[in-house]
Amino acid sequence: MPKKERKRLQVVISEEQDALLTKTAYELSSPERLISKSEVVRLAIEKIAKELGEGEQLDEYRALLEEEDVKDD
């Protein structure tokens, strides 16, 4: 997928979420290619959108989002 220049979203994430991003990027990286946290986020967006489009895991995602709402309060 070609990259389009877009204004970056400024999303506040927790230290735990940042650590998960870092860990995931590290695990996906290889000696030949480093994967950035931004690439991990783009991959996650595509994966979630695809699963939602196929009607998969809707309830799981809704439950996760409801948990996040409770944590944010």
Segment 3-18, tens digit of pLDDT: 666 777 788 889 999 9
User: Under a CB-based contact definition with an 8 Å cutoff, are residues 16 and 1 in contact?
Assistant: no
Q: Residue 25: which residues within 8 A CB-CB, separation 6 or more?
A: 34, 35, 36, 37, 39, 40
**Domain membership flag for residue 26:** no
pTM of the model: 0.69
The band of 42, judged by pLDDT with boundaries at 50, 70 and 90, is very high
**Domain membership flag for residue 73:** yes
Number of domains, the chain:
1
**Domain membership flag for residue 17:** no
